[in-house]
Chains A and B, each alone.
Chain A
């Protein structure tokens, strides 16, 4: 703004009748611009364009021009795949493509910079530095992957899953591509392929992604086991509509089918909940939920019966878990998920409730991290809020037992002395893996659990 000495103090908020009010000095309505145009080196960003109204992110199919190429306005620079089609994206400016920020095969949201354009060769280095800084730093690889199953080998050399410590990382081409795509440091991935090589499945496991559908595999005579053509499905009833599973629903279906291979048995137990209900009334205002109370009670019972907290891996071994992580089944829109309360025995009721609230919020927003739903050692499922009195739950894979809890209902009880009384009773049903948990173990656990519920003061300790 130019300086205006001796300007009459006018408030421009009022009328702009400058002609009458300015006897002497006329000043420009607009501040005089200091027009010292220094030619600024401009690093222009090439943005991911919105190629359709529904597009939110696009994938770079390939860069037509490479770093260092000179571009003229209108040149096609990159091919972008939108939700509808592949389109060539042109540049609006002349210049030199200094840096590619999002590479071939990578995705970026609409509006995000995908490349940097500069006017002159000197600015290329600057642009490259800028690109290096703004690019997301590769996330450190997750802890060495759990041994992922190698892809089914063709009838050839048997896969030697773990050899002596490999002196160099051998990774297949697809594994390398996936590592780059998911920003996994391939040196940290444990290879489980033949001769210890790193397979695409290993990289995906390291990145925490469930393995993508398998590559082309030779069929030989048996039809592909995974194809749905195995079971002949009955012809659909007219008027019915077929809706494909979402990823979560597919996962649930898969887990339930897997559970068929586990020999399970069920034990039921009636638990008197009068004392528990009283406690609940007391602690509810402090933010404690029934779920937290039940989870804590189960956890405390599990401390005394560690075999119920174990699982059977490979059908041959007990795996005793050192932590008691109680997973609780939650129905969310369109699916089912089991957020895990880790170390439920060690946290107090209030902390547990708080954690639970956080987990449920995250679950509803679909933001649960894998370790927040995969790490359960025991599961609790409650349908009491619907009025269900008793049900059988299906054992989730990788666990030893699941507890199904019904509603607490006033029930007439006959005592041995012939007197009737009415007490609140809740039917608890536990499904367990009989390879590791035997009838007596489970019954004993339930007895302990019932005692804890009926004497709930210990819960608030």
Chain B
């Protein structure tokens, strides 16, 4: 019942936040004319039932075990049409692979239907609402707004319509490119063999990618009724706005929802198992975030406690949450609230995949993979031609990480080796103001520095020094750079402030391309823009030794 699922990888921060924007515009991809005669997909019916274990059907369909077929129905079969699968599919088509994608529920998966997309719609509403209600801020700009209100159904509709639209776009983009969309739950029968749905037809593919994603994790003792005790799936439908909601888990998901609910007039109580709120962030950022996102709002919190039992509201009684001390397990308190949101992380959705047929054992549900996303079986050997990307492997539970991993896999199967540097993948939390980060946190960097014997320096700038931020009267913010003063390597960048989620990419690009501080200092930033916060940050980083100026990869254009 941790507030987050700890990952075995040494890279990623230990929280899951698939709620990052990752809608891919299909407009600039070539139309793939290679359409060989293939498996006729059954009609696309949107079934909203979850994946169930089809173990019985699987064992029945299994015929020969281990012998690979000579010619394949597809070059690439992707199980799961979420963001990861979609990204892989598009890249595969670009590389000329005959691709099929299997989807047992709705195209778009969690991100489009139950994650990034609707949550960003709600956060957009809550951001506006907060601005309009902030009389003090508006007055300082000389503005005056009379009572702002909202219509809950219209807000929910906005989120819903957006999800439908993007789901439609995703489906069309794949269809237009000639990707076969197979409807039904995919199950692996053996190497390079799978079946879709309940039919006995076997589909063969040279390479298979598992991209089945994750579902909200509900710790035991918590009874979810979908109305008063909900997960993010229900919350995003915004069926009600409770007066007082308890959010179990203060990671990204919990934090974003607290932003939405408090903007819409609810009061929030956090229940956090660890001793600090927002444990996955850099501690300095989380302290500032707490000061801005929690303290002044109608939010209080209980840390160091588990919610051992949550009972939904019934018979005229409120939702009751029993809290026990996280270490001693002694009962501590009972909360009586109108609703409870369970935001304790996400669990991988790998049941019924047929992994036992290829001798793969999941670790707490996650599929074990190496740094190239190749699946590892129970003996520690690589399973050939089988990959797993996205939330299902748990390396970095972010939508854009999933599609990046998918692209990496496609590169590999088309002959180019590719290893993702997860440290260059940014992450963002879309509260108001936003939080974003890439790379290591300060404690992680210092630990690495101690182990590997290099010094770690930190540079910080405030948004208060930025003209654009001050013009908007949004000077509250901090940008932090963690770097190696000896060679100028950027180890991590953390931003808290207006548009942080957009600003981080300069830093993540730098890390991805290996750009060092001494080179990036010379890049010019438009004035007055918020990006100057990062400009200041890079310029303020002091180095011990200057290496001979020779940019690593690309020349820095001035």
Binding site for B on A (CB under 8 A): 62, 85, 104-105, 151, 153-154, 156-157, 160, 168, 170, 172-174, 176-177, 193-195, 197, 215-221, 224, 226-229
Contact of A154 among B148, B241, B318, B336 (CB under 8 A): B241
Given contacts A173-B300, A176-B300, contact A216 B265 (CB under 8 A): yes
B317 at the interface (CB under 8 A from A): yes
* B241 engages A105 (CB within 8 Å): no
* B268 engages A173 (CB within 8 Å): yes
New contact pairs (10) apart from A195-B318, A215-B265, CB-CB < 8 Å? A85-B140, A172-B243, A177-B300, A216-B129, A216-B148, A216-B263, A218-B152, A218-B264, A224-B149, A226-B147
Q: Which of B16-24, B87-95, B103-111, B290-298 lies at the interface with chain A?
A: B290-298
**3 tightest CB-CB pairs across the interface, nearest first?**
A216-B265, A219-B149, A173-B300
Contact of A216 among B150, B151, B240 (CB under 8 A): B150
How many angstroms from the CA of A151 to the CA of B263 in the assembled complex?
16
How many angstroms from the CA of A153 to the CA of B338 in the assembled complex?
11
B5 at the interface (CB under 8 A from A): no
Q: Which of A160, A217, A228 has the most CB of B within 10 A?
A: A217
Residues of A within 8 A of B268 (CB): 173
How many angstroms from the CA of A228 to the CA of B336 in the assembled complex?
36
Residues of A within 8 A of B152 (CB): 218, 220
Given contacts A104-B295, A229-B146, contact A220 B151 (CB under 8 A): yes
B232 at the interface (CB under 8 A from A): no
Contact of B265 among A156, A170, A217, A226 (CB under 8 A): A217
Residues of B within 8 A of A197 (CB): 244, 336
Q: Which of A168, A193, A215 has the most CB of B within 10 A?
A: A215
How many angstroms from the CA of A195 to the CA of B264 in the assembled complex?
22
How many angstroms from the CA of A210 to the CA of B15 in the assembled complex?
44
B259 at the interface (CB under 8 A from A): no
Residues of B within 8 A of A228 (CB): 146
How many angstroms from the CA of A89 to the CA of B318 in the assembled complex?
45
* A154 engages B316 (CB within 8 Å): no
Minimal beta-carbon separation of B288 from chain A (angstroms): 9
The residue on A at minimum CB distance from B296 is A105
The residue on A at minimum CB distance from B336 is A170
B313 at the interface (CB under 8 A from A): yes
Minimal beta-carbon separation of B530 from chain A (angstroms): 19
- B window 226-279: CB within 8 A of A: 240-244, 263-265, 267-269
25 A-B contacts (beta carbon < 8 Å): A62-B295, A105-B296, A151-B243, A153-B243, A154-B242, A154-B243, A157-B316, A168-B334, A172-B243, A172-B298, A174-B298, A176-B300, A194-B318, A194-B338, A216-B129, A216-B150, A216-B263, A216-B264, A218-B149, A218-B241, A218-B264, A219-B151, A220-B151, A221-B151, A227-B146
Contact of A173 among B264, B298, B334 (CB under 8 A): B298
Q: Which of B140, B147, B150, B240 has the most CB of A within 10 A?
A: B147
How many angstroms from the CA of A218 to the CA of B241 in the assembled complex?
8
How many angstroms from the CA of A174 to the CA of B297 in the assembled complex?
8
Binding site for A on B (CB under 8 A): 129, 133, 140, 146-152, 240-244, 263-265, 267-269, 291, 295-296, 298-300, 313, 316-318, 334-336, 338
The residue on B at minimum CB distance from A226 is B147
How many angstroms from the CA of A160 to the CA of B240 in the assembled complex?
19
Contact of B291 among A62, A154, A216 (CB under 8 A): A62
The residue on B at minimum CB distance from A153 is B243
How many angstroms from the CA of A218 to the CA of B296 in the assembled complex?
21
Residues of B within 8 A of A156 (CB): 240, 242, 338
How many angstroms from the CA of A218 to the CA of B242 in the assembled complex?
11
* A195 engages B243 (CB within 8 Å): no
A-B pairs with beta carbons under 8 A, tally: 79
Minimal beta-carbon separation of A270 from chain B (angstroms): 50
How many angstroms from the CA of A104 to the CA of B469 in the assembled complex?
24
Residues of A within 8 A of B338 (CB): 156-157, 194
The residue on B at minimum CB distance from A215 is B265
How many angstroms from the CA of A215 to the CA of B264 in the assembled complex?
9
How many angstroms from the CA of A220 to the CA of B150 in the assembled complex?
7
The residue on B at minimum CB distance from A227 is B147
Minimal beta-carbon separation of A87 from chain B (angstroms): 10
Q: Which of A62, A151, A173, A229 has the most CB of B within 10 A?
A: A173
* B336 engages A216 (CB within 8 Å): no
Residues of A within 8 A of B300 (CB): 173, 176-177
Minimal beta-carbon separation of A218 from chain B (angstroms): 5
Residues of A within 8 A of B317 (CB): 195
Residues of B within 8 A of A194 (CB): 243, 318, 338
Residues of B within 8 A of A226 (CB): 147
Residues of B within 8 A of A177 (CB): 298, 300
How many angstroms from the CA of A220 to the CA of B241 in the assembled complex?
12
Residues of B within 8 A of A218 (CB): 149-152, 241, 264-265
The residue on B at minimum CB distance from A170 is B336
* B269 engages A173 (CB within 8 Å): yes
Residues of A within 8 A of B244 (CB): 172-173, 197
Minimal beta-carbon separation of A20 from chain B (angstroms): 67
Residues of B within 8 A of A160 (CB): 316
Minimal beta-carbon separation of A346 from chain B (angstroms): 46
Given contacts A62-B291, A216-B149, contact A173 B265 (CB under 8 A): no
Residues of A within 8 A of B298 (CB): 172-174, 177, 215
Residues of A within 8 A of B243 (CB): 151, 153-154, 172, 193-194
How many angstroms from the CA of A174 to the CA of B140 in the assembled complex?
25
Residues of A within 8 A of B318 (CB): 194-195
Given contacts A176-B300, A218-B151, A226-B147, contact A157 B313 (CB under 8 A): yes
Residues of B within 8 A of A216 (CB): 129, 133, 148-150, 263-265
Q: Which of B133, B152, B298, B316 has the most CB of A within 10 A?
A: B298
Residues of A within 8 A of B291 (CB): 62
Minimal beta-carbon separation of A320 from chain B (angstroms): 36
Residues of A within 8 A of B149 (CB): 216-219, 224
How many angstroms from the CA of A226 to the CA of B146 in the assembled complex?
11
How many angstroms from the CA of A153 to the CA of B241 in the assembled complex?
10
Minimal beta-carbon separation of B141 from chain A (angstroms): 12
Contact of B150 among A62, A168, A219, A227 (CB under 8 A): A219
Minimal beta-carbon separation of B158 from chain A (angstroms): 15
Residues of B within 8 A of A193 (CB): 243
How many angstroms from the CA of A221 to the CA of B295 in the assembled complex?
33
Residues of B within 8 A of A168 (CB): 334
Residues of A within 8 A of B242 (CB): 154, 156
How many angstroms from the CA of A168 to the CA of B334 in the assembled complex?
9
How many angstroms from the CA of A168 to the CA of B313 in the assembled complex?
18
How many angstroms from the CA of A439 to the CA of B317 in the assembled complex?
49
How many angstroms from the CA of A309 to the CA of B269 in the assembled complex?
47
